[in-house]
Amino acid sequence: MAVPRPGEVRLRPAVPAPGMTRAFWVSFAAFLAFVAALIPNSDLTQAGAAWRFTLMGLAAGIAWWGAVERFEALPDRSRPWIFWGVAVVLRVLLLAACPADDFWRYLWEGRIQSVGAGLNPYVFEPASPALLPLRTAWWPLINHPDWASVYPPGAQWLFSRLALLTENPLGWKLLFAGFDLAVVAVLVRLRRGADRYRTVAWYAWNPLVLYAFAGAGHYDSAMMLALVLAYAALDRAMGVGECRGRWGWPLATGILLGLAVSLKIAPVVLLPLWVFALRGRAGWLIPGLLIPFALAMFYGFPGVEVFTPLREFALRARTNDLVWWVWELIAGRRSTNTAYNAILAAVCVLLGWRFRRDPARGVLAVLGASVVLSPVFHPWYLCWVLPFACLRRSVPWMVLSVSIFGYFLLWESTPFWVAWEQPVWQRLFILIPPLYAIARARIRMAHPA
């Protein structure tokens, strides 16, 4: 019996037993009910919505866990139909949820490029007086209106193309949910074996994933599609070895990784892993890595500071960090993000080298470290990690995807806490469950069955 590594506890295999099918359907019904209950509470600006949304999210996560654990109780023939039916129907259902405040920023930045005849979102912040004629009824919903865009050029190109087609939020959310379903399809393809639908259900049915893209309308699913395809291409590149002429897959993985970085800067932390894994063929990554800069030229780069707002955001922003608050609590002072980002970069390079021969573990380790060590950790950032955690069947990440619903309490002040001032108990609420899962992994390693 293989013993799992720390932090990668294998989800216990489902063995059908009497009553297991009934237990699946009970958990499944509760899961559907709690996911549906997120919709009327998804406008977090309304009084009382944040704590109700948090409770429904936690309950949905617990029920989701129970349903996926018992997925193998279903008849073989029905598993693909139920798997895809639930994945599609719940995403369609959550299209009715209130979009996150980031979504209105996407819509606005697409609007000023299309309706505004190519106005540059890196030059004009939403509050700019020059953009007054373009304001809409939803303009007040835009977050940080005094900041120019922090989204990379690939994202801006996507927003501008979407805005030419429609300014209907439903159309945008449909596309982002479609990207997410495409990620699910790639995972099903990557995961072979009789248990692939149950394994991928840890991602495809995850309440956090369902809400993040179909509900809140985060565009990160576009980046994630490029990223999982880049990983698949890297896996193929390593499979063909370094024989003469084997350049196609290295070039493909470089292009896909470059597309992912052009949409969201986060995957750049994987570059060392890609370089170390490909070794002598790493030069084929260069064309792909030029994509973000090529797209930036459409926005005036290098004359226009396309990447400056993003750099300023990385240096100044601070929300829901998982690690650094402990250090600052002990030290009694707040440090700058510069040191934290340097540590994050160094750790990602070291992990890239450590797992250069095992990209499946490497992608999870590097992306996971970048999320854990980031000074900013929003729940949808965790979705970047979850496709690879699902393939590795890593319990602590799945547990964190449930406990992270405690983050949404930040939206509202109560007699017990102030909005956006995170108390220690709330941080521990998020952290203790995954830490407990890691501790259980170590105990199982020390005392294998």
Q: Is residue 3 assigned to a domain?
A: no
Report yes or no: 353 and 272 within 8 Å, Cβ to Cβ: yes
Region 388-411 average pLDDT:
95
Cα–Cα distance between 31 and 59 in angstroms, integer? 8
307, two tokens: 């990447």
Cα–Cα distance between 176 and 182 in angstroms, integer? 10
Q: Is residue 11 assigned to a domain?
A: no
Alpha helices (H) along 72-206 = 79-94, 101-114, 153-165, 169-190, 196-204
Q: Is residue 265 assigned to a domain?
A: yes
Q: Which long-range contacts (CB under 8 A, 24 or more apart) does 14-17 make?
A: 14/69, 14/70, 14/71, 14/72, 14/73, 14/195, 14/198, 15/72, 16/72, 16/73, 17/73
Alpha helices (H) along 95-149 = 101-114
Lowest mean pLDDT among 78-92, 139-153, 154-168, 301-315: 301-315
Region 89-109 average pLDDT:
97
Q: Is residue 416 assigned to a domain?
A: yes
| Number of structural domains in the chain | 1
Q: Is residue 15 assigned to a domain?
A: no
Residues 223-278 pLDDT 10s: 999 999 999 999 999 876 555 447 889 999 999 999 999 999 999 999 999 999 99
| Position 10 pLDDT exceeds 70 | no
In this predicted structure, what is the pLDDT of residue 445? Answer: 76
| Position 202 pLDDT exceeds 60 | yes
Instruction: Give the domain extent around 298.
Output: 20-446
* Coil vs helix vs strand at 265: coil
Q: Is residue 175 assigned to a domain?
A: yes
Cα–Cα distance between 89 and 208 in angstroms, integer? 15
| Position 63 pLDDT exceeds 70 | yes
Q: Is residue 263 assigned to a domain?
A: yes
284, two tokens: 């084929």
> Could you tell me which of 53, 57, 70, 55 has the C-alpha nearest to residue 31?
57
Q: In whole angstroms, what separates CA 1 from the centre of its chain?
A: 32
First to last CA, the chain: 9
Name residue 100's amino acid.
A
| Between residues 378 and 413, the one the model is more confident about | 378
Report yes or no: 147 and 309 within 8 Å, Cβ to Cβ: yes
Cα–Cα distance between 268 and 263 in angstroms, integer? 11
Fill in the DSSP letter of residue 123. T
**Total-model pTM:** 0.92
CA distances from 351 to 256, 344, 356, 392 (A): 21, 11, 8, 17
Residues facing residue 10 across a β-bridge: 394
Residues facing residue 376 across a β-bridge: 319
Residue pointed to by tokens 């959550």: 94
Q: Is residue 38 assigned to a domain?
A: yes
> Could you tell me which of 248, 260, 249 has the C-alpha nearest to residue 291?
260
| Position 4 pLDDT exceeds 50 | no
In this predicted structure, what is the pLDDT of residue 8? Answer: 47
Cα–Cα distance between 16 and 141 in angstroms, integer? 49
